[in-house]
């Protein structure tokens, strides 16, 4: 979701108006994806690094996030939309965190269409968080479960394997474990870098860089990217199968 500030500057709009337009673009894109039959959509709404911006801008984004939660809650009453918030939610204020948890709880049973909004997120933090959680799990197993098998020497090799952190442990403890790895990653604003977003999950994804700023993204941008993916579908399937 890159280009909100550039959009406002180019359109000679007041400060913060670009984020208003960006929030509307996100809600519109969610509708487009739902109508097109896309099952999963993930939006990078707020990075941990974004806390370095001016306090007034951070507060503006947080206010918009709360408004988006309200809109999504109303949409979910009429359509089976599941909403996830992925990231270090402890960095949000208590009110916003509670609203996020309430919305996730209210939509948890839906599965037809899944919207994941990444807030207070970056991929490096996701990986560190996952390793820490995996270590806690292994320590718990070693301390409270492993002790009961101290006299069972035949299981030593199996216990050693259980004490090691593996790929499954890392991936299940990531914030992004709530949704499958993406088929497509769209970056707006004519940017060609991932900016610490889903590096772990996008090794076999189509990377689409659009010259348009985020507030101007429309349904035809989405359709073009989807068609591009469909034309290269066999290639991406082969790559994913090679990983298995």
C-alpha pair distances (Å), 191 with each of 2, 209, 216: 8, 6, 15
Q: Which member of 2, 20, 126, 181 is catalytic?
A: 2
| pLDDT for the residue 151 | 54
Quick one: tokens of 129? Answer: 């968080």
Q: Judge whether residue 68 has pLDDT over 80.
A: yes
pLDDT at 160: 59
pLDDT band at 110 (very low <50, low <70, confident <90, very high): very high
Please state, in angstroms and rounded to a whole number, the distance separating the CA atoms of residues 120 and 5.
Answer: 19
Mean pLDDT of 191-218: 90
Q: Lowest-confidence range among 121-125, 140-144, 161-165?
A: 140-144
The distance in angstroms from the start CA to the end CA of the chain is 31
Q: Average of pLDDT values for 44-53? A: 94
Where is average pLDDT lowest: 4-8, 152-156, 197-201, 214-218? 152-156
What are the respective helix, strand and coil percentages of the chain, to the nearest 5? 60, 15, 30
Residue 138's pLDDT band (cuts 50, 70, 90): confident
What pLDDT is stored for residue 235 in this prediction?
Answer: 80
Q: Which residue in 174, 188, 175 sits closest to 26, CA to CA?
A: 188
pTM of the predicted model as reported, rounded to 2 decimal places:
0.88
Residues 38-59, mean pLDDT to the nearest whole number? 95
Mean of the per-residue pLDDT values of the chain: 89
2 in active site: yes
- Measured torsion, CA atoms of residues 125, 211, 186, 103, in degrees rounded to the nearest 10: 70
Q: Is the pLDDT of residue 161 over 70?
A: no
């Amino acid at each position: 979701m890159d280009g909100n500030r550039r959009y406002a500057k180019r359109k000679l709009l007041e400060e913060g108006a670009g984020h208003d337009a960006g929030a509307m673009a996100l809600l519109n894109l969610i509708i487009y994806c739902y109508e097109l039959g896309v099952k999963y959509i993930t939006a990078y709404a707020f990075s941990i690094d974004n806390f370095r911006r001016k306090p007034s801008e951070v507060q503006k984004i947080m206010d918009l996030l709360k408004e988006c939660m309200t809109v999504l809650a109303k949409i979910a009453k009429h359509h089976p939309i599941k909403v996830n918030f992925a990231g270090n939610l402890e960095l949000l204020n208590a009110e916003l965190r509670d609203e996020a948890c309430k919305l996730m709880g209210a939509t948890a049973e839906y599965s037809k269409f899944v919207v994941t909004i990444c807030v207070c997120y970056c991929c490096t933090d996701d990986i560190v968080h996952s390793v820490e959680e995996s270590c806690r799990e292994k320590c718990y197993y070693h301390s409270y479960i492993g002790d009961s098998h101290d006299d069972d020497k035949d299981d030593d090799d199996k216990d050693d394997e259980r004490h090691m952190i593996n790929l499954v442990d890392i991936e299940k403890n990531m914030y992004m474990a709530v949704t499958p790895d993406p088929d497509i990653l769209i970056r707006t604003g004519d940017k060609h870098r991932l900016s610490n977003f889903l590096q772990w999950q996008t090794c076999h994804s189509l990377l689409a860089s659009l010259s348009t700023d985020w507030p101007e993204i429309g349904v035809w941008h989405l359709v073009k990217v989807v068609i591009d993916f469909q034309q290269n579908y066999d290639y991406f399937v082969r790559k994913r199968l090679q990983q298995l």
